[in-house]
Copies of this chain bind each other. A is one copy, B any other.
Amino acid sequence: MIQPDSYVRSLLKRSPGESVTARGWVKTRRDSKNVHFIQLNDGSSPVDLQIVLDAGVVGEQPMDSITTSACISAEGELVASMGKGQAVQLKASAITVNDTADAENYPLQKKKHTLETLRELGHLRTRSNTFGAVFRVRNALAAAIHKFFQDRGFLYVHTPVISASDAEGAGSMFQVTTLDLDALGKSGKPADFTQDFFGKHTYLTVSGQLEGEIFAHAFANVYTFGPTFRAENSNTPRHLAEFYMIEPEMAFCDLNDNQDLAEAFLKSQVEQVVNACGADLDFLAKWYDPELRKTLDGLLNAQFERITYTEAIDLLNRSGRNFEFPTHWGADMQSEHERYLTEEVFKRPVIVTGYPKEIKAFYMRANEDGKTVAAMDVLAPRIGEIIGGSQREERHDVLLARIREMASHGLKEEAYWWYLDLRRFGGVYHAGFGMGFERMMMYLTGMKNIRDVIPFPRTPGNAEF
């Protein structure tokens, strides 16, 4: 096993003169008359370790098998390097080939592949420089999120993946079943879900929020971080059928506290990832988004603007712009509107609050005006909505009336018995929000297609690997 002090990342920081063993996969190899140069990587660093091997040190047979993607262990001494971005290289005295590669048929040759091609090679794209950087950022981002909440004493909670709630209004859902579907088809009869595994119709969760509220009513500050699902037939660069959400939920929290936390949360993520993965971000900026560092610095250094939805609509109406989607009070904001506000008017992230109740979920707290709810969306330049949240309706009578109002939209009062019950027993004012993990990944990496920031994307027609 590679120990922490022997990762390529660690070796590159050690001093000339040290005897070490490096292990990993060969990226490239070139030979001059008297010396072989091997670029080695083990996925820990965007910079390869250069191995220098004098001709004749190892025999002909092992040399032949040291090809791109072969797996080797190299013993030797670290020596000062003239190479850019690395202080040391490894002067090898022995090399073991742990496994050869069918180099001629290796799909990732030196030439640059399109991201589309690499997507078909989900089992190998992980070894490319691009996906090395992306998945190191993904790891660092996940760790940063846990650190942010754990440092604040938030309790991490696993809300259920399989749910009997059909969450009307939250979009299409995947069904989960153990019924024999071929037998069902041939039966000529409708499905009998009392015979299903859970004795009822079940689905994959679209959000852990409602269950998160249960925990916030016992542990005050909690968060979820888990997979969520949408069965929408959207073949776009921004949609996945399976993706990750982070959903904090806080008791004794109003919309102001909620905005403060969302702003601190976004800044902390960027700061931690910049610190942990600076070289990866430089690589991604170079190849995918020259503005990346500027975008991230912009978020870090800005105080987020806070405006109401009504103010936002006013600004859009008075913009003189010819938007594709016309704006009026009551309409949802589109991407073009979000970009205008963040990139042109304020040139920084903007938190919009107080949306019309008709375009927001039933659980958001009704404002005194009778028209709006205590919702908030955090919009960021270049990406638009990155966080959505609200103060929740904690008043039992108001919530019950709202659920009944929504009955015609498919909301079933009896399905919410426990959610209503929470409001009967110390149902304190509380708030929370959700952040799409892969949206944040796109923001941090500059990648333009959401399929390139998740290990194995699930999209319509695609569940490979």
Binding site for B on A (CB under 8 A): 1-4, 7, 9-10, 23-26, 42-44, 69-71, 73, 98-102, 105-106, 122-124, 126-127, 131-132, 135-136, 138-139, 142-143, 146, 150-153, 155-164, 172, 174-179, 181-182, 184-191, 197-200, 202, 204, 211, 214-215, 217-221, 226-227, 229, 231, 233, 241-242, 244, 250-253, 257, 261, 394, 418-419, 421-429, 454-456, 458, 460-465
CB distance from A195 to the nearest CB of B (A): 11
Nearest B residue (CB) for A157: B455
Q: Are A156 and B139 within 8 A (Cβ)?
A: yes
Q: How far is the CA of A25 from the CA of B220 in the complex (A)?
A: 10
Q: Are B178 and A186 within 8 A (Cβ)?
A: no
Q: Are B426 and A71 within 8 A (Cβ)?
A: yes
Q: Are B175 and A252 within 8 A (Cβ)?
A: no
Q: Which residues of B contact A221 (CB under 8 A)?
A: 1-2
Q: Are A456 and B197 within 8 A (Cβ)?
A: no
Q: How far is the CA of A50 from the CA of B132 in the complex (A)?
A: 53
Q: Are A186 and B189 within 8 A (Cβ)?
A: yes
Instruction: Tell which of B43, B157, B181, B219 touches A175, judged by Cβ atoms closer than 8 Å.
Output: B181
Nearest B residue (CB) for A173: B178
CB distance from A256 to the nearest CB of B (A): 9
Q: Which residues of B contact A179 (CB under 8 A)?
A: 175, 181
Instruction: Tell which of B122, B124, B164, B198 touches A460, judged by Cβ atoms closer than 8 Å.
Output: B198
Given known A174-B178, A185-B190, A231-B197, contact A454–B105 (CB-CB < 8 A) = no
Instruction: Tell which of B73, B158, B229, B426 touches A25, judged by Cβ atoms closer than 8 Å.
Output: B426
Q: Are B197 and A174 within 8 A (Cβ)?
A: yes
Q: Are A197 and B241 within 8 A (Cβ)?
A: yes
- The list of the 9 closest CB pairs from A to B, nearest first, reads A43-B219, A126-B218, A71-B426, A181-B191, A123-B418, A71-B428, A198-B463, A164-B463, A182-B190
Q: Are B190 and A186 within 8 A (Cβ)?
A: yes
| Number of copies of this protein chain within its complex | 2
Q: Which residues of B contact A215 (CB under 8 A)?
A: 126, 135, 455
**Beyond the given A69-B425, A99-B426, A181-B191, could you list 12 further A-B residue pairs with CB under 8 A, ordered by the A residue number?**
A1-B252, A1-B253, A98-B428, A127-B218, A135-B157, A142-B156, A146-B146, A160-B465, A161-B161, A172-B178, A176-B176, A181-B190
Instruction: Tell which of B127, B211, B244 touches A217, judged by Cβ atoms closer than 8 Å.
Output: B127
CB distance from A435 to the nearest CB of B (A): 15
Nearest B residue (CB) for A423: B99
Q: Are A153 and B7 within 8 A (Cβ)?
A: yes
Q: Are B127 and A160 within 8 A (Cβ)?
A: no
Q: How far is the CA of A174 from the CA of B226 in the complex (A)?
A: 19
Contact sample, A vs B, 11 pairs, CB 8 Å cutoff: A23-B220, A25-B217, A44-B219, A132-B219, A161-B161, A162-B463, A174-B197, A182-B191, A185-B189, A186-B188, A198-B458
Q: How far is the CA of A17 from the CA of B342 in the complex (A)?
A: 47
Q: Are A252 and B23 within 8 A (Cβ)?
A: yes
Q: How far is the CA of A421 from the CA of B138 in the complex (A)?
A: 25
Given known A174-B178, A176-B175, contact A422–B211 (CB-CB < 8 A) = no
Q: How far is the CA of A55 from the CA of B367 in the complex (A)?
A: 37
CB distance from A99 to the nearest CB of B (A): 5
Q: Are A242 and B135 within 8 A (Cβ)?
A: no
Given known A1-B250, A174-B177, A197-B460, contact A122–B214 (CB-CB < 8 A) = yes
Q: Are A160 and B126 within 8 A (Cβ)?
A: no
CB distance from A142 to the nearest CB of B (A): 5
Instruction: Tell which of B4, B99, B219 touches A427, judged by Cβ atoms closer than 8 Å.
Output: B99
Q: Which residues of B contact A152 (CB under 8 A)?
A: 3-4
Q: How far is the CA of A143 from the CA of B250 in the complex (A)?
A: 20
Q: Are B122 and A218 within 8 A (Cβ)?
A: no
Q: How far is the CA of A198 from the CA of B461 in the complex (A)?
A: 4
Given known A143-B150, A185-B184, contact A214–B176 (CB-CB < 8 A) = no
Instruction: Tell which of B175, B178, B462 touches A178, judged by Cβ atoms closer than 8 Å.
Output: B175
